[in-house]
Structure 1
Amino acid sequence: MHCVVTSPPYFGLRDYGEPGQIGLEPTPAAYVARLAEVFTEVRRVLHPDGTCWLNLGDSYAGKANGGPSVGLTRRADRAELIPPRRNTTAAAPYKSLLGIPWRVAFALQDAGWTVRNAIVWAKTNAMPESVTDRFASRTETLFLLTRSARYHFDLDPVRETPVDPTGGAEWAQRRKQGVPGRRGRNPESSVTAADRDFAAHQAGRNPGDVWQIPVANFPGAHFAVFPPEIPRRAILTGCPPGGVVLDPFSGSATTGMVALQLGRRYVGIDLNPDYHRLALRTRLLERPLPGIDQPAS
C-alpha cells in the first residue's frame, strides 16, 4: 500500500451492530489499544515511503450512559446514532475533554510511527450543538503518519495561489538587492507572509495545517460525513500516481471514490458487507455488478 486515508469509529459515539467493532470499548485506554493493534498491521503493509492519514474526533467524559464525541461528525453514513452505555468517568472528570486523538497519536508514535503533522480540519458548516457551558466544537484532527523520515510527499498539486503573486516576486527582488525600501519601493515589511511564501515557490504557497473544509452529505445519512476534499488532498500529496490507497474503515468508501477519480487503485475494508454493497452501488462502480444491484444471470 502506498497511502492510507481513514477515519475509524470515534470513541463512545455509535453502535454499528457488528461483533468486534471498534468504538465501544469500556475506557479510552482500551480504545487506544485496539486502534494501536490495527495500525500495527497497517504499518506492516504500508510501503516504506508511504503515508498514513488518520482522522479522529475527540470525546468528553460522560456519566454511566457515555459521552458523545465532539461535534458528532463521525462518518455517519454507516450507522444511526446509538449512544453506547460506557462509563468514561474513570479516565477523566465528568465533562472533561478526553484528548482521544492525541492519546492515539502518542500510542502510534510509541509503536514506531513518525507523527509529521496534526492538521486541523476546521468545519465551515459544522453541525450546531445545544451545549451552553463551553464553545461549540468545530474542528477535528487529521494526523499525517509515516514509517520513516523519508517518504513520498508532493505539495505541488495542492499549493494555493497567493493573493498577490506580483508582490511575492517584488519582495524576492528586493531581498536579492539587499536594500529594502530603496528606489521608491515599499519596505519588505509591507509584503504579506503569504507573498513571501510564494516567492520561495512560484507554483504557490504551502496550504498549511489548518484546512477549512465543509462537512459533506451522503444519501441516507442523518449526520455530517467525511468530506471528499480531505482524501483528495491526502492522496494527491501522499500517494504517487497509480499507487494503491487503503482505507481499513471503508464505510461508504469516500476514500475509494476519490482514489479512483485521481487514477489510483483502492482497497477498502469494513466489518459490515452491507457497506461494501452500498459503496459498490453508489461510489465505486459505473455500472451495476451482478449480486449487488441485480440478480446474476
Structure 2
Amino acid sequence: MSHIKRFFKRNGLWVLFATALLSIALAVGAHLSANATILENIAGVVLSPINNAHASLTAWVADKSQYYADNTALLEENAALKLEIANMEEAIRQAELDSAENARFRKLLSLREQRQDLTIESANITARSTTNWTETFTLNRGTDHGIQEGNMVITEEGYLVGVIDTAGSNWSTVLTLVDTDTSLGAQVFRTSDLGLVQGDFSLMAEQRLRLDYLPQDTSLLAGDLIVTSGLGNYYPSGIVIGTVESVQTDDSGAASYAIIAPEADLNHLVQVFVIKEFDIVD
C-alpha cells in the first residue's frame, strides 16, 4: 500500500490528467456519433420535400400524360364521328335528291303515257328575270334541240309554265303564263266554256292571271279547272293552266272575269319540258 500511495503521490497529477483525457476522448467520440445522426436528420429534412415534390411531379406528369392520351383519343373519336355524320348526311341528301328525281321521272313517264300526242324536250332553268312588266326563264336548250319560238313549256305534271319567246342555238327564254304579254285560248274543264287567259300587270306580282271573254251565262265557280282550248291548233289542248280563285264583274257590270291561280309553282321550278310537236285533234 505504501508503494501505491507513493505512486499516486508522485504521479497522481498525471493519472488525473490521463483520466481527464480519456473522459474527454469518450465524450468527443460520443459527440461525434451524435453529430452523424444529426447530419443524417438534416439530410432527411432537406431531401424529404424534394422527394415529395419529385413524387408529386411524377404523379402529375403521369396524370397529364394519361389526360393527354385520353383527350387525344377522344378528339380522334369525335373527328371520326363528325366525318361519319357528315357522310350520313350526304347520303341522306343524295337519297332525297334521288327520290325527288325518281318522282320526277315517274311523273314524266305518267305524262308521256297520258299525253302520247306530245313530243317533249327536257330542259333546265339556268336563269330567271323579273321586272315590273315581264317574268321570264332562261333554259339550256334551243334550236339545236328542236326548240322553236312559240313552243309551249310545261312541268312534269303537265302544268303550263309559259311559252318560248326567243330561241338561240343552245338556249331559249320562256315567257311565263303570268307575264303581261301572255295570251292563250282557255276552256273551263267542267262546263267547256271558252275564254282567254291573259297576264295582268296588277296581278303579276301575286303570280295570278285573268280569264276574260267568258259567256254571259257562264256558271263558273271558284275551284273550276282551266285548261288550254287548243283552238286554232297553235297550242295543244287540255294543258292545265290553273284553277279559278274568284269570279268578278268588270267595271261595266256587263261581263264577268275570273282570277286564275296557276297550278305550276313558278317560284321553285328547276326542270321543265318543252312541247316541240303535238298531234292536232279534230
Using the size of structure 2 for normalisation, the TM-score is: 0.22
Structure with the larger RCO, 1 or 2 (CA within 8 Å, 6+ apart) = 1
Structure possessing the higher radius of gyration over alpha carbons: 2
More strand by share: 2
More helix by share: 2
Using the size of structure 1 for normalisation, the TM-score is: 0.21
